[in-house]
Amino acid sequence: MNRIDTPDTLTLAEVLGNGALAIMAYAILGVLLLAAGFYVVDLATPGRLSKVIRNDRNPNATLIAASGMAGVGLIVAASIWSSGGALREGLLVTLAFGLVGIAAQTLGMFAFDKIAGFSVAELVRESTLQPAAILLSVTRFVIGLITAVAVI
């Protein structure tokens, strides 16, 4: 006799095992998207971003990178939330929307350069925190927030 597994017929171990695997899959995808977001910011700024943050201790580069990570994190969380428990579809949606969010943030950075007249390249060369870096960082975070809400 074949048994169809429904939430009522799964054992606690099966529920916990499936849940743990889903959490691990989303965590891995989330970390990969965060790394991709950091890498894209790295490409859009002069020098190695990790060096500028770690060695130069540049607050502008740090704030710009951190705001991008926060925005991507919001998108990943919203994508997981909206997946409705369907793991495969949820992972695909998270991947797609995460990449869209990274692209939107990158376009926002380039638009910021052109429209606002502030150079991101110049901002990350400044050794003291600049008001334009705060503005760009809030913009990147809000782009992530808008994308996250659109997912929901």
Read off the pLDDT of residues 65-104 as tens digits, 9 standing for 90 and up.
Answer: 899 889 889 988 888 888 777 888 889 988 998 898 888 8
State the pLDDT confidence band at 12, using cuts at 50, 70 and 90. Answer: confident
List the chain domain ranges: 30-151
What pLDDT, on the 0 to 100 scale, is given for residue 7? 56
pTM comes to 0.78
The whole-angstrom separation of Cα 152 and Cα 146 is 10
